[in-house]
Structure 1
Amino acid sequence: LAWWLAHTRTRLKPLIEAVTALPLVLPPTVLGFYLLVLFAPGAPLGGAWLGLTGHTLTFSFSGLVLASMLYSLPFVVQPLQGAFEAVGRGPLEAAAVLGARPLDAFFTVASPLALRGYLTATVLGFAHTLGEFGVVLMVGGNIPGRTRVISIAIYEQVETLNFAAAHLLAAGMLVFSFA
C-alpha cells in the first residue's frame, strides 16, 4: 500500500490516503465497534474468514491481531510512503536499464534505500499497538489465555483496586518501551 501510494498518479490517491489515516482521528472504541461489526460471522469479511479457517474473527487472537494491524496502519504506511517517495524514480530506472525486473528492483534497490522508513514503521506500529486498549477490547474482549493483553490486564487490576499488580504491569511496559 505504501509503495503504491508513493508511486500512483490516480485521482483516488487522496481518498485512499484519507481512509488509511482514519484510525488517527477515530476514537478507538468507534473503530473497534465497526471492526467488530465487520468481523462478525454474518458479515462478509467475518463470514469469509469463518469459511476459510473454521474460526471466527470476533473474540479471537486472529481478530485481535488483524484489528491491531488496521488500527496501526497509518503509523506504518505513512513512514514507508515517505521513504519510498524519497527513493525517487532514478535508482529504479537505473536498475531497469541494467536489466532488473520491477520486483528485483524493489527488493535490491528500493527496499534497502528505504530501510529507515521500514525501521520507523516497525517501531511506530509496534509501539502504537502495544498500548492499545479500545480496539483490542471491542474486537478481542478479555478472555484469559486467548485475548487478554497487558493494557487490559492493567485496567482490570485498577478496576479491582489491585494497584500493586497494576503498577508492576505498567512498570514492565514502561521498561519495555525504553528497551
Structure 2
Amino acid sequence: MKLLNLTISTKRLLLQSISLAYKEVIFREFTEEITTYMHPRSPQNISETELFLSASLSNMQNGDELVVAILDKDSQEFLGCSGIHKLNSKHPELGIWLKKSAHGNGYGLETITALKEWAESNLDYEYLIYPVDRANIRSRKIPERLGGQIYREYEQINLSGKILYLVEYRIFKKAFIK
C-alpha cells in the first residue's frame, strides 16, 4: 500500500500524506490549547515536531499508519492533521486535530468521513476506534454522526500530565446490501 504519496479529495478538502514540508506550520499551530483534550502535548521546540514527522513517515513507509495534512482544496491552506493508526489491526484508530482558526467549519467530520471511506475501500477491519475526551463535545459529534457507539470509558494521563476522561467509540463498516 502506497501511503507516502496519497491524496484523498473531498468537497472542500485535500488530505495529503504528511511530509516535512509542514513542520513549521504544525509547530506553530499544534498549541497547548489545541492539545487540551489530546494525548500528545504541544512541542516545546521544532525538533519535537520533526521527530513526530519522521516517526509518522517511517510508520507510513512500514504500512502501520496513515497520517495526512488537511488542506483547504482551493487555497491549499493547512488546516490540521489526521490519521488512521494501527492500520494492520482489526481495530484501527482514528485521530484528528485542527488549528484554532479552522474550528467550527465541519472540517473534522468531513475529514474523518473521508478517512472512514478510504478505510472501507483499503483495509480489512472489524471497526474503527475513535477515542475522545468526554468533555470535548464538538469532537464527540464526529463519531456519533458516523454511527459510532460508545464501547468503553477510561482515564488516561496525557503527555502534559493531565488526566483525560476518554470515551471510546466504535465505528463499524457500512452494511453492503447485495
Instruction: Tell me the TM-score normalized by structure 2.
Output: 0.27
Q: Which structure is higher in helix share?
A: 1
Which one has the largest radius of gyration?
A: 1
Of structures 1 and 2, the one scoring higher in RCO (CA 8 A, sep 6+) is 1
